Amino acid sequence: MNKLLDIKNLHTMAEDDHKKKILKGLDLSIKKGEIHVIMGPNGSGKSTLANTIFSSPRYIVTEGNITLDGEDITNLPTNEIAKKGVFMSFQTPEEIPGVSLAQFLKTTKQSITGEKINLMSFIKEIDKYTKELNMREEYTSREFNVGFSGGEKKKNEILQMLLLNPKLAILDETDSGLDVDAIKTVSKGINLYKNNDNAVLIITHSTKILKGLKVDKVHILVDGKIVKTGDSSLAQEIEENGYKEFLK
Quote the CA–CA distance of 143 and 1 in Å, as a whole number.
42
pLDDT band at 91 (very low <50, low <70, confident <90, very high): confident
Identify the bridge partners of residue 203 per DSSP, sorted by sequence position.
38, 172
Q: Output the pLDDT for position 1.
A: 58
pLDDT band at 181 (very low <50, low <70, confident <90, very high): confident
**Average model confidence (pLDDT) for the chain?**
92
* Domains defined along the chain, listed by start: 3-246 (3.40.50.300)
Query: pLDDT, tens digit, for every residue of 46-88?
Result: 999 999 999 999 999 999 999 999 999 998 999 999 999 999 9
Quote the CA–CA distance of 98 and 107 in Å, as a whole number.
14
Q: What is the pTM of this model?
A: 0.93
Exposed, middle or buried: residue 77 (CB in 10 Å: 0-12, 13-18, 19+)?
exposed
Please provide residue 242's backbone torsions phi and psi, each rounded to the nearest 5 degrees.
75, -160
Please provide residue 56's backbone torsions phi and psi, each rounded to the nearest 5 degrees.
-65, 135
Query: pLDDT, tens digit, for every residue of 190-244?
Result: 999 999 999 999 999 888 889 889 999 999 999 999 999 999 999 999 999 999 8
Quote the CA–CA distance of 239 and 201 in Å, as a whole number.
19
